[in-house]
Amino acid sequence: MLEKDAIGSGSSAHATGLLSILGTEFTPGDSFAMGREAYAGFIDLVPQLQDLTGMDILYQRPPALRLALDADEERLIRESLEWQSKLVPAEWISGADARRIEPRLTEAVRGAAYEPESAQLDSYRLNLALARGAELHGAQILTRTVTSLVRQGSRITGVVCGDETISCGTVVLAPGPWADACADWLQFPVPVSPMKGERLLLSYSGAPLPCIISSPVRGHMISRVDGLWSVGSTGGRDYDDRDAFRGVDFDRQPTEQAKFELIQRALDVLPDLADADVVEQLAGSRPLSVDRKPIIGTVPGLDGVLLATGHSTKGIHLAPITARMIAAHVFGDTPAFTFDPETFAPARFAEMKSPDFHDAGQGVDE
């Protein structure tokens, strides 16, 4: 495994670690099926990984409330629930019922989608545990920057890292928000662009939340297993109706503007948080793909190379399923997925000339 900086130094270091099925990220069909299968994958993976590495990844599976504070949010949530509730346990509850679950919620809550179970973990700890687990299974982790690929005819046989060449049977390219470099190496479109996101960790002396809270416009609010509260994120929300949070931007600088905005959103949902202190502000870039779906699989016309990138806002959630899909290619297995893996194959971009990321960067939920 070749890493140019440090394990968990990219997008994954900043993620909330929310493994949510509802929301706008998983659309009907293969996307939703993939999200469900990925979610289920963590239930076995987490105890295995924790036992293997001795690391606690702060995994929790509480209920969740997806709140509507205005008519547009209510319409969006209810429309989504019409099809989602046929596939997963979820129902619409009134504002009063939502406040019975969490009495500190603002009176402005009109209603919510209630899920008896959702999940969240610490994405940085997950990265470290996965890397350690891979080492314990024989993987070698080297600090190297891949600068190009070694090609013999239509076969990729290794990677170039500056002056050094490393040969291998199959190259798996998973460079997150840096993925556009792969397009030159492969001479094939890899439409991925960084999209900035910021979030806050708060210290608050009040009781922890009994559930994971999110809203389409105001984002998430989670009491983590370590006692800190996560609120966020910026990037692509209706609330972010200013250029600072729109579109694509490779920038990992925390901003005062985002901090102010995130605190305001949190207070809109739970006014008691006025007593909370900001203990950490995180800023990272998501690997936004042009259709917001991951790009996983073989590259048309080339052997010996696979792409695993473009996971946009769901790269933590989709990590175990991506690994299974890649392993199926590498080892020639044919596992039964509940979705068609070809939906996410790079081939869908074969004819793409100049990707426009504007639509992909709208209505982001995580």
Ligand X SMILES: Cc1cc2nc3c(=O)[nH]c(=O)nc-3n(C[C@H](O)[C@H](O)[C@H](O)COP(=O)(O)OP(=O)(O)OC[C@H]3O[C@@H](n4cnc5c(N)ncnc54)[C@H](O)[C@@H]3O)c2cc1C
Q: Which residues bind ligand X (CB under 6 A)?
A: 2-5, 9-12, 14-18, 145-146, 174-178, 197, 199, 232-233, 284, 286-287, 309, 311-317, 366
Closer residue to ligand X in complex, CB, 5/51: 5
DSSP H helices, the chain, are 30-53, 71-84, 95-101, 123-136, 180-186, 256-269, 319-331
Closer residue to ligand X in complex, CB, 74/366: 366
Q: Rounded to the nearest whole angstrom, what is the least distance from the CB of residue 32 to ligand X in the complex?
A: 15
d(CA 273, CA 204): 7
d(CA 310, CA 225): 29
d(CA 224, CA 240): 25
d(CA 162, CA 177): 21
Closer residue to ligand X in complex, CB, 5/303: 5
Q: Rounded to the nearest whole angstrom, what is the least distance from the CB of residue 43 to ligand X in the complex?
A: 16
Closer residue to ligand X in complex, CB, 175/304: 175
**Adjacency order of strands within the sheet including 171-173:** 171-173, 305-309, 295-298
3-state percent breakdown (helix, strand, coil) of the chain, nearest 5: 30, 25, 45
Closer residue to ligand X in complex, CB, 98/286: 286
Tokens coding 138: 């024989």
Closer residue to ligand X in complex, CB, 95/186: 186
Distances (CA, A) of 127 to 7, 285, 297: 7, 16, 22
Tell me 17's DSSP state. -
Q: Rounded to the nearest whole angstrom, what is the least distance from the CB of residue 134 to ligand X in the complex?
A: 13
Closer residue to ligand X in complex, CB, 69/323: 323
Tell which residue, 125, 133, 129, has the closest CA to residue 225.
125
Q: Rounded to the nearest whole angstrom, what is the least distance from the CB of residue 37 to ligand X in the complex?
A: 14
Q: Rounded to the nearest whole angstrom, what is the least distance from the CB of residue 100 to ligand X in the complex?
A: 27
Q: Rounded to the nearest whole angstrom, what is the least distance from the CB of residue 175 to ligand X in the complex?
A: 3
Q: Rounded to the nearest whole angstrom, what is the least distance from the CB of residue 58 to ligand X in the complex?
A: 13
Tell me 225's DSSP state. T
